[in-house]
Structure 1
Amino acid sequence: MPTDAYAAQPAARPAHAGVNSNFGARGWSMVGFALIMYYNFAAWTADGLNVIVQSFVDLHGWDFATLLAFSTPAGWLGVIGSLAIAELISRRGAKLVAVVGLILLGVTLIWFGRVTTYIEYAIGLTLLNFLATGVCFNVPGTLLNTWFPRKKGLALGWATMGMSLCTATLVPIMVFLFRGLGTQNGYAACGLALIAVGLAAIVWVRNTPEELGLYPDNEPVSREQLAANLAELENYKSPFTIPVLLRDKDMWLISLGYGVLWLVDIGVVSQLVPRLISVGYDQSTAIWMFTTAAFFCALFSYVWGWFDVRFGTRRTSIVYAFFFAVTHACLLVRGSDLFTYFTLLLVGMSIAGIKELATSQVGSVYGRYDFAAANRVISTIACLFRVCCFAVIAASLKWTGEYDAAYIFFIFLDFVGAAMIFFITDTCKGKLDASVPAGHH
C-alpha cells in the first residue's frame, strides 16, 4: 500500500500555511488560467444549457423537450469518458492536456454550431461534456495543487470564481453573440476564443513552478532542493493505481462525501430561476436575482478558500455541509421579499464552496505528487453524483408538483456528506517533498 512506502504525515496545518495570497506573478497567472478553465467547465456542462437548447430550437425548429432529454446521457457519457483524460493528465502532465484539449474543445464548438440533425446534436453535446469535464475540470485542480501544495485552498478559492462568473455572465454574452453574429457564427466565435487560449497555453502554462526556477507556494527553498523536487516530479510514478484507490477508504469517503454535496449544489443552482418563478416572481426579476446570487458566489469562493487554509479542509467542509443544510431549510420557506433576498445571499455563499473544498481535500490527503493519480478516480465518481441532481428534482416535481421534496432530501444529503467527510483521514498519505517537514504540508 502507498502508506507503507511513505509514512503518513499530518495534513495541512493552518498555522504554517499562511492566509496571504502572495502567489507571485507567475503563480497568479496559473490562478488566472485555472479561472478561465473553470469558467469553461461550467459553461459547456451546466450554465450553457440555458441558451444552447433554445438556440437550436430557434435555428432549426427542433423540439425543446427532445433536445433537453439529450443532456443527461450526454453528461453521463462525458463524465465516464473524462476518466481517460484524467488518466492522461496523470501520465503526461496537465499542460499537454490543456493545450490539446482546449483546441479540440474549440473545434468541437465550431462544428457544433453547424449540426443539422438530432444525432449530430447529441454527439456534439456529448463531446462538449467529455472535453469540458475531462480538461477544464481536471487540469486546473492538478495545476493548483502542484503549484500551491500548502496554499491550494486560497488558490482554488480565487480560481473557482470562474464558475460563479460564468453563471453571472455567460447567458448575456451568448445572447449578444447570437444576435450580433447569428447562432452558427456565435458558436464559432466561442470556439476560436478557446483555440486561442489553447495556443497561448503553450507558453503560458507550466506543470510545476520548479520548471521556471520558482518555488512551490512562492516560498523559498534552496536551489539544490528546487532541482531535486523537479527531478522527483518528472520521474515520479505514483503507487496509487486504480486498484489501490478502489480499496482505499479515503478515496470513497471523499468521492461520496463531496459527491452528494455537489449534487445538492447543482440541484439548487440549476433550478433557482424556476423555483423563484414558482413562488410568484416574474422571469426577468428571477433572472436578476439569480445573477445577484452568482456574484455573491464569486465573492465567497475566496472566503471558503480562506477558511480552508486557516482552519483546515476537513473542518471547513463539515461546517460548509451544515451551512448548506440551513440554506436548504430557508428555501422551503415562502417568506417576504426581504427573506427571499436573505435566502439568495445564503445560496450564493453555499454554492461557492464545493469545487474548492473537494479539490483541496484530495490534495490534503494525497499530496502534490499523488494528486493527479487520486483525482482521476475521485473526480469521476463525484461528477457522476453531480449529474444525479436532475433525477432528484424531476422526481420531486413529478410526485409533488413542487421543489420542496427535493430540498428536504437535499438536507438529508447535507448531513450524509458531513458524516462522510468527518471520517476522512486527517493525514497526508501521499509523498511529500523532502524539504517539507511533518506538519508543514
Structure 2
Amino acid sequence: MKKKDNQNSVVAFGVHGWFHIIYMMLMFWFYVGMINDGSNNIAGKIAEHMLGSAKMAGTISTCNSIAGIIGVALFIVIGILNRRIGSRYMSGINCIIAGITYIGVLNAPNPVVYTIMMAVTCGTIMSAGYLCGGVLVANWFPKKKGIVMGYTTMGHNLATAIYVPLILFLVGRFGVTHACYPISIGCIILGIVGILFIRDTPFERGYYPDHVSKEVYDEFYDTSDGADSDKDGGWTIGKLLKCDQVWVVALVTGVFQICSVGTMSQMINRTTNGFGFSITVAASIMSACAIVGVVGSFLIGVLDQKLGTKKAMIVFGCWYACALLFNFTDTMAGFWISIVMIGIGIGGSANFTTSLPASVFGRKGFDKVNSVLFPIQGIITALTFAINGAVMNMTGGNIRYAYAIDACLALINVIVIIAFVKDHKYNADWIAEQEAKGSEEAEDFAKTI
C-alpha cells in the first residue's frame, strides 16, 4: 500500500508508528492496573493488612479518591514540564517514578502514607498515559486519533484481563507488601525504553503525521508552522481557561471516565457480593469481560474514525448506560447481558479523553491545551472513587447503587454532548482538509478561530 493511500487505512502506521502505539498501550496497562482495577479490587486485602479488617475497603477507596484529587497538582506540574522537555522524556520519567512509588503504596503502614504514595503514583502514571501519551497521539496521528486510541486503550482491557488476576495471585502468594515488585520493575523498564526510543513528533523519524505521504500532508494538513508541532497554537493559559470548549470537553470526557472506572474498579466486589460468585470465578468473569473489550476498543476506535468523535460518544453513552442498568436489575439475565455490553464499551471512555480534545482543538498547540484540560479531567475522574466509597460506606459494601448513579450520569452526559460540544472548532488540520475539498462548513469554522 502506498503512503498516499494511508489516509483511509486503520493499520498502516509504519514500524515507528506502531512502536509508539504499543508504548502508549503499555502505559495504559500499568495505569489501569496500578491505580484503577488493581488497587480497588485488592482494596479488601490492603485494608486487612493496614487496618486489620477487609470490611474497611471503603476507606481504601476513599483514600484512592483523595489521592486522585491530590494527584491533580502533579498533573499541572507535569503538564508544564511536558511542554518544556517533551513527551518522550516526561512519559519515561513518569513511568520510572510511578514504578518506585508503587512499592510505597503496597507497603504503606497507615492511610496517610498510603494516600501520599498513591497520589504520586496516580499523578505520574496517569500523566504518562493521558497527558504525555495524549500529546504523542495528537502529534503522530492527528486525523487517526480515534482508531489509534482504539488500539492504545486495549491496554485498559488487557490490564483488567491480565493485571487483576496477576495482582490477586501475587498478593495471595507473596502477601500485599511483596506483590508490588514485579509490577514496579516492569513499569521502570518501560520508562527507560520510552526515554531511549520514543520521539515527540513523527518528523524526527522521517514520517509525516498519520504516516501519510508528503503530497497528502502538504495538501490536506495545516502546514503553516512546518514540521514544528510544539508551538502553542495561539493559546495561553488565560485564553484556555476562558474557552468554553475546554470546560465542556473536560466535563464530558471526565464523566464517562467516572462511569467506566467506577464500574471496572468494583466489578469483583459487585460480582461476589451482588451475585454470589466466588472471588476466583468473579476474577475470571472480569477477565472474560476485558477480553471482549479488546475487540470493543477496536470497534469504538473504528466508530470514532468513521462517524466522528462526537457521534461516537453519543452512541457510547447510551450503550454504557443501558449496560449499567441491566446490571442494576440484580437478575442473572441482566448480569450476563451487562457483562457483554460493559466489555465492549470498556475502552470507550479512555478513547475519548484524548480523541475528543484532539478533535476539537487539533494538533497545533495540543500540548498547551492538554496541560490545562487534563488536570480538569483528572479532578472529575477522581470523583468516581468518592462515589464508590460513599455508596459502600452507606450500604455496608454494596456497590449496586453506584451503578445506577453512573448510568444516570452517562445519560445526562449524552445530553450535554449533543447540546454543547463543538467538534473541530479549533482543529486547523481538519479545516485545511475541508478547505481543500471546498467545504463551506470549514469556512464557517475558520471564522470562529
What band does the TM-score fall into relative to the shorter chain?
Answer: 0.7 to 0.9
Who is 2:95 aligned against?
102
**Among residues 303, 307, 314, which one is paired with 1:318 in the alignment?**
314
SS of residue paired to 1:411: helix
Q: Judging changes above 3 Å, is the alpha-carbon distance between structure 1 residues 27 and 291 closer, same or farther for their aligned structure 2 residues?
A: same
Task: List gaps (5 residues or longer) in structure 1.
Answer: 1-14
1:262 maps to 2:252:
no
Structure 1 residues 338, 117: CA separation in 2 closer, same or farther (over 3 Å shift)? closer
Which residue of structure 1 lines up, in the alignment, with residue 352 of structure 2? 357
SS at match of 2:100: helix
**CA separation in 1, counterparts of 2:404 and 2:95?**
39
Give 1:29's aligned residue: 19
Structure 1: distance between partners of 2:148 and 2:364: 17
Q: Which residue of 1 aligns with 2:203?
A: 210
Counterparts of residues 35-434 of structure 1 (less than 5 Å): 35-50=25-40, 53=43, 56=46, 62=52, 64=54, 65=56, 67-112=60-105, 114-116=107-109, 118-178=111-171, 184-222=177-215, 232-233=227-228, 236-283=231-278, 284-335=280-331, 337-396=332-391, 403=399, 405-422=401-418, 423-432=420-429
For residues 329-356 of structure 1, the C-alpha deviation after alignment (integer angstroms, 9 at most, x for no partner) is 2122233x45432221011122221111
Contact 2:139/2:229 (CA < 8 Å) preserved in 1? Answer: no
Larger deviation, residues 122-131 vs 391-400:
391-400
CA distance in 1, matches of 2:41, 2:406: 27
State the alpha-carbon separation in 2 of the partners of residues 139 and 129 from structure 1.
14
Q: Determine the C-alpha separation between the residues in 2 that align with 1:311 and 1:268.
A: 26
Q: CA deviation at 1:280?
A: 3.2
1:11 corresponds to:
none
Maintained 8 Å contact 1:264/1:413: yes
Give the Å deviation of 1:138.
1.5
How far off is 1:415 after superposition? 2.4
Q: 1:21 to 1:380 in 2, by over 3 A?
A: same
Contact 2:314-2:414 within 8 A present in 1 as well: yes
Give the partner amino acid of 1:381.
Answer: I
- 1:13-69 CA-partner distances (Å, limit 9, x unpaired): xx9952522111111111000000111111222122146645656766755525554
TM-superposed CA distance for 1:372, in Å, is: 1.8
CA contact (8 A) 2:75 2:374 kept: no
Change (3 A) 1:67 1:79: same
Alpha-carbon distance, 1:112 to partner: 4.7
**Would the aligned equivalents of 1:221 and 1:435 in 2 still touch at CA under 8 Å?**
no
Counterpart of 2:270 in structure 1: which amino acid? R
Q: Report if the CA contact (8 A) 1:265-1:354 is conserved.
A: yes
In the alignment, the residues of structure 2 paired with residue 111 and residue 403 of structure 1 have an alpha-carbon distance, to the nearest angstrom, of 28
CA contact (8 A) 1:210 1:229 kept: no
1:164 is paired with a residue of what secondary structure?
A: helix
Question: Which region of structure 1 is more displaced relative to structure 2, 118-127 or 144-153?
Answer: 118-127
State TM-score, norm by structure 1.
Answer: 0.86
Whether the aligned pair in 1 keeps the contact of 2:138 and 2:145 (CA below 8 Å) is yes
Match of 1:6 in 2: none
Q: Secondary structure of 1:207's match?
A: coil
Contact between 1:113 and 1:188, CA under 8 Å: does it hold in 2?
A: no
Please identify, of 105-114 and 311-320, the stretch whose mean Cα deviation from structure 2 is larger.
Answer: 105-114
**Match of 2:362, SS?**
helix
The normalised TM-score by structure 2 is 0.84
- Cα 1:435–1:25, aligned 2, differ >3 Å: closer, same or farther? farther
8 A Cα contact 1:79 1:129, kept in partner: no
SS for the counterpart of 1:334 is coil
Larger mean Cα displacement after TM superposition, 97-106 or 15-24? 15-24
Is 1:108–1:128's contact at 8 Å kept on the other side of the alignment? Answer: yes
Counterpart residue type for residue 127 of structure 2 = G
Alpha-carbon shift at residue 272 of structure 1 (Å): 2.3
Moved more, 173-182 or 126-135: 173-182
Which amino acid in structure 2 is aligned with residue 27 of structure 1? G
Contact 1:94 1:139 in 2 (8 A): yes
Give the distance between the partners of 2:318 and 2:140, measured in 1 at CA: 31
Q: Is the 8 A contact 1:78 1:133 kept in 2?
A: no
Report deviation, 1:317: 0.7
How far did 1:367 drift? 0.8
Q: Distance in 1 between matches of 2:413 and 2:42?
A: 32
Shift of 1:126: 1.9
In structure 2, runs of 5+ residues without a counterpart are 443-449
Moved more, 239-248 or 389-398: 389-398
Aligned length: 425
Aligned AA for 1:269?
M
Q: Secondary structure at the match of 1:352?
A: helix
Q: In 2, distance between residues paired with 1:391 and 1:434?
A: 41
CA 1:106–1:398: 2 relative to 1, 3 Å: closer
Higher relative contact order (CA 8 A, sep 6+): 1
- Report percent identity of matched pairs: 24
Q: What amino acid is aligned across from residue 81 of structure 2 in structure 1?
A: L
Moved more, 191-200 or 309-318: 191-200
CA RMSD of aligned residues (A): 3.1
Counterpart Cα distance in 2 of 1:420 and 1:91: 34
> Cα–Cα, structure 1 residues 101 and 116, in superposed 2: closer, same or farther, change >3 Å?
same
Q: Is the 8 A contact 1:77 1:126 kept in 2?
A: yes
